[in-house]
Structures are given as C-alpha cells and as structure tokens.
Amino acid sequence: MSLTDIQTRISQAEARAERAPGSVHLIAVSKEQPESHVLPILESGHRVFGENRVQEAVGKWPAWQERFGKVELHLLGPLQTNKARQAMALFQVIHSLDRPKLARTLARLAQETGACPQLFIQVNTGAEPQKAGILQPDTDGFIAECRSLDLPVIGLMCIPPVEADPAPHFEQLAAMARRNDLPCLSMGMSDDFETAIAHGATHVRVGSAIFGARG
C-alpha cells in the first residue's frame, strides 16, 4: 500500500471518530527495511520515521539526514541504559520508557546535556511476560515517579498481544492517559491503526503496510 493510501485511511478514520484533521501523527516504521524501500518515502517528503534498535538507526540515519535534511526520529523498541546517551542524541521521541532504572538514567543525562527527547511510557497492557512495558497496576505510580524526575512524559504507548482483539487494550491505555492528564497515545500498527484512531491514538506506528514485509 502506498504512503498516500495510508494517509487517506488515517484521514478517514479521523473523520469517522470526529477528530480534528491532522490530529494523528503517522510514524513510518523503517526498521529492517532496505534503502530501496525507504528512499522513495523520503523523496515523497515524509519526515517522521520510527526505528526499533538504536544501533541500526545510528548506522543508517545520519547519512540519510545529510542527504534529505532533518528527520523526526522515534525510538519504538526497548532501550538499554548503556545505549541511552546515543539514543537521546539521535531520537526526538522515545516510546519505550518502561522502568525506573531507565527513567533515572534519562533524567541524569538530561541534566547533564540540558536536553531530553519527548517520552512515552510503554505499558504492557496484556501483562505478557516476554513483552517490555510497565504493568497496569504500576503505571500511575511510575508516571508520578517520572514527573518527579522532571522527565518530559507526553503520553502512553502499548503493543497489544498478537492474537487479541486490540480494542480493549487501546481503551485501557486511553483511560490511563486520561486520568493522568497525558495528552498523547502511541498505539496502532499496520493491522489495527484505524481501531487505534477510533480510541484516541495521536501517534500510529505503521511499518509493513507502507514499506512491505520486513527482511
């Protein structure tokens, strides 16, 4: 599907949900995609991309940014504390803040450098053991902890279990964001971004539907 098709579907989903046109940000997830798939999207003028791994992103985006100008980069995958400095230098937004130790590291580096990316707290809404994210009962407390560290938390992010109906997960994430006065919701991927928009997503993360299957 082309980028234009996805943008059209996003606009239609915004309209159906009676949301303002342009209220949903499209993050084109370029992880593991060959250059031949990414360049046409850059050439079309799109400037918001998502990556899963710091190392992979550091290896390819500086050259592309030299050629196409500044791109807004979002880190979507788990972040190890020993990669935090590199991640903060490259990414404008991090979607995977998921534990106190990482929060303290980001806060320390923000103090030191005077800058910090915008942050989403990742919530493991399905309580899946193999998945990153703070568990639901701990979320309100963790948001408060991040705020006490002066971290710029703008919203919540989730990845619903693969086989589950995503709607209840999106609903729960939206409720948690609402009661904590967080304005942004990072939810919805290739297969469910329209459902996510119906439930209030402000940032959808779409990879394979734009670029084709990975690897």
Ligand X SMILES: *Cc1c(COP(=O)(O)O)cnc(C)c1O
Taking CB under 6 A as the criterion, the residue among 7, 81, 92, 208 binding ligand X is: 208
Query: Could you say whether residue 185 binds ligand X (CB under 6 A)?
Result: no
Pick one of 11, 52, 65, 136: the residue that binds ligand X (CB under 6 A). Answer: 52
CB of 215 to ligand X, least distance (A): 11
114: three-class secondary structure by DSSP? coil
User: By CB under 6 A, is residue 29 in contact with ligand X?
Assistant: yes
Q: Which single residue brings its beta carbon nearest to ligand X? A: 207
* CA pair distance 106, 2, nearest whole angstrom: 36
Q: Considering Cα of 8, then 188, then 186, then 196, what sign does the dihedral take?
A: positive
Q: How many chain residues bind ligand X (CB under 6 A)?
A: 13
Three-class secondary structure assignment of 146-157: HHHCCCCEEEEE
- Alpha helices (runs of H) in the chain, residue ranges in sequence order: 3-16, 35-43, 54-68, 84-90, 100-113, 136-148, 167-179, 193-198, 208-211
Among 9, 19, 25, 31, binds ligand X (CB under 6 A): 31
Binding range to ligand X, per CB under 6 A, among 61-69, 125-133, 142-150, 203-211: 203-211
Q: How far is the CB of 76 from ligand X (least distance, A)?
A: 4
- For residues 126 and 174, the answer to whether their CB atoms sit within 8 Å is no
Residue 76 in contact with ligand X, rule: CB under 6 A? yes
Under the criterion CB under 6 A, does residue 24 sit at the interface with ligand X?
no
Crossing angle of helices 100-113 and 136-148, in 10° steps, is 20
List 153, 159, 177, 187, residue binding ligand X (CB under 6 A): 159
User: What Rg value do the Cα atoms of the chain yield, rounded?
Assistant: 17
Q: Contact 90/60 with Cβ under 8 angstroms?
A: no
Closest separation between CB of residue 66 and ligand X, Å?
Answer: 25
> Shortest Cβ distance from residue 114 to ligand X (Å)?
28
Closest CA to 127 of 83, 172, 90, 94: 172
**Least distance to ligand X, CB of residue 108, Å:** 25
Among positions 48, 71, 190, 194, the unique one binding ligand X when judged by CB under 6 A: 190
In the complex, what is the shortest distance from the CB of residue 113 to ligand X, in angstroms, rounded to a whole number? Answer: 25
Residues that bind ligand X (CB under 6 A): 29, 31, 52, 76-77, 159, 189-190, 205-209
